[in-house]
Amino acid sequence: MALADVRATGPTNAERIRSVMSASTSLSLTTGGNCYDLIAMHTVDEQGRLRLHAPADSPLAAEAVCAPRGLLAGLLQFTDIAPVAVRDRIRARVTLSGRLTPADVQSAPDVLVLRLEAVRVTIERDGLAEDVRLDEVGLARTDPLAAEEAGMLNHLDRDHHDVVAGLSRLADARVLRDARHVRPLALDRYGITLRCEYARGHHDIRIPFPVPVRDAAGIGAQIDRLLSQAHGCPHRRP
């Protein structure tokens, strides 16, 4: 098949990293002397550059200001957790390492802004870790559904069991045979992932959309198209 004929069925690892960084509300930071759990204290700009916004009187700000040459080595980790209460909810871990330096930007007088000069970024999924080039992360874009994914998945899981069951008919019948539950696990512009849970273990089903969506407003039409496809599938409803 020619390269031009290959259609993406999921985000690249660089896109996943950008989405996890942008959608997460918390991260952990490890420095040479401390470990911090930071909640609602980071931002990511359009180029993928990360900044921390630390209270000026916080231990992190003090450590950064006192760091030799103003460079504080740090390891930052984001944990992507499924919003639906499935088994094994950790979907990915993103780790960035580099140096934190005070940023020359205007901010509130009681906040110290630290800029991360990243030297390495890694994503771990399904037990496999992969380094991703920094320029790829900088060029990637956050998935347009990242900010709304949690709400949409919880709505689907809580109020639309029939839709989840219908989508599951697109999977191999052998995958569904002994499943005790089928729950929505992930949603992005390229498709939806369902998780089949068994008495022991689980299996994930990736269902690509017929056409990638541009925003949340396009989800309904793609789900309807998938359900139309599933209507002719002979699979037994799980």
What percent of the chain has pLDDT above 70? 93
Helix 149-159 vs helix 161-168: angle between axes, to the nearest 10 degrees?
90
Structure confidence by residue, pLDDT tens digits, 9-28: 899 999 999 999 999 999 99
Sign of torsion over alpha carbons 130, 135, 141, 142? positive
Instruction: Give DSSP secondary structure letters for 80-138.
Output: EE-SS--SS-EEEEEEEEEEEEE--S---TTEEEEEEEEEEEEEEETTEEEE--HHHHH
- Domain coordinates in residue numbering, the chain: 3-139, 149-231
Beta strand 128-131 with 111-125 is antiparallel
Say whether 203 sits in a helix, a strand or coil: strand
For residue 146, report the phi and psi dihedrals to the nearest 5 degrees: -55, -45
Q: What is the pLDDT of residue 235?
A: 53
Q: How many CB atoms lie within 10 A of CB 152?
A: 16
Residue 96 has pLDDT above 80, yes or no: yes
- Does the domain spanning 149-231 belong to CATH 3.20.180.10? yes
Q: What is the pLDDT of residues 165-203, one digit of tens each?
A: 999 999 888 888 999 999 999 999 999 999 999 999 999
User: What average pLDDT score do residues 92-114 get?
Assistant: 91
Confidence of residue 108 (pLDDT cuts 50, 70, 90): confident
Tokens representing 28 are 């952990």
Interatomic CA distance for residues 13 and 61, integer angstroms: 32
Q: Is 238 helix (H, G, I), strand (E, B) or coil?
A: coil
Contact between residue 102 and residue 65 where contact means Cβ atoms under 8 Å apart: yes
The superfamily (CATH) of domain 3-139 is Electron Transport, Fmn-binding Protein; Chain A (2.30.110.10)
Q: Which amino acid is at 30?
A: T
Q: How far apart are CA 196 and CA 80, in angstroms?
A: 19
